[in-house]
């Protein structure tokens, strides 16, 4: 949590420096709410415009500006069901994208999915609950470690 899948045409996010700068700004969204930095996974996927269709039209036929599509999957924590919370979250995403996408004049669409936390593991470990003592250890050490409740049962591992 989170997983960002960034689909972009050739010539956009092609160098490591531009990817690293965007990845750093994305990671800040989550470390600000006390998630470990290692939770943040970002995939940059170069897609040929001829393989992207929007409204039934190939982006290679309408290549007025690069089109970027972002799929974001949240797992560790869920947002409360309040419009203001969703707007704040979208604002944080927009702020992370601003310099790297919006200010460059790229077309961009994104969405966020909240997926089931109970089917999520790191190195076979069930992640600790957000803000628990074990969670804060993961934040501090920026890596997973065994904690009470890290396994489904004593038979499958140890606590």
Helix (H) or strand (E) holding 38: none
Q: Describe the crossing of helices 83-98 and 16-31 by its angle, rounded to 10 degrees.
A: 150
Length, in residues, of the chain: 159
pLDDT in tens, 110-146: 999 999 998 999 999 999 999 999 999 999 999 999 9
Confidence of residue 152 (pLDDT cuts 50, 70, 90): confident
SS3 state at 44: strand
**Residue 35 CB burial class (10 angstroms; 0-12, 13-18, ≥19):** buried
Q: What distance in Å separates the CA atoms of residue 48 and residue 51, rounded to the nearest whole number? A: 5
Average pLDDT, the chain: 92
Place of tokens 């920026």: 142
Q: How confident is the model at residue 153 (pLDDT cuts 50, 70, 90)?
A: low
What is the H or E stretch that residue 83 is in?
A: helix 83-98
pLDDT tens, position by position, 24-78: 999 999 999 999 999 999 999 999 999 999 889 888 866 678 999 999 999 998 9
Q: Which domains does the chain have, with CATH numbers?
A: 3-119 (3.30.429.10), 121-159 (no CATH)
pLDDT class for 159, splitting at 50, 70, 90?
A: very low
């Amino acid at each position: 949590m989170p997983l960002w899948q960034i689909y972009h045409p050739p010539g956009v996010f092609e160098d490591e420096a531009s990817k690293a700068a965007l990845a750093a700004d994305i990671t800040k969204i989550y470390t600000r709410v006390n998630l470990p930095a290692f939770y943040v996974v970002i995939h940059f996927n170069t897609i040929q415009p001829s393989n992207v269709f929007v409204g039934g039209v190939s982006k290679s036929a309408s290549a007025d500006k690069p089109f970027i599509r972002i799929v974001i999957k949240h797992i560790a924590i869920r947002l409360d069901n309040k419009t203001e919370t969703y707007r704040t979250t979208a604002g944080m995403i927009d702020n992370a994208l601003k310099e790297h996408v919006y200010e460059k004049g790229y077309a961009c669409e994104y969405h966020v999915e909240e997926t089931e936390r109970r089917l999520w593991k790191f190195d076979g470990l069930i992640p600790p609950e957000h803000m628990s003592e074990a969670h804060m250890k993961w934040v501090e050490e920026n890596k997973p470690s065994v904690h009470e409740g890290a396994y489904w049962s004593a038979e499958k591992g140890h606590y």
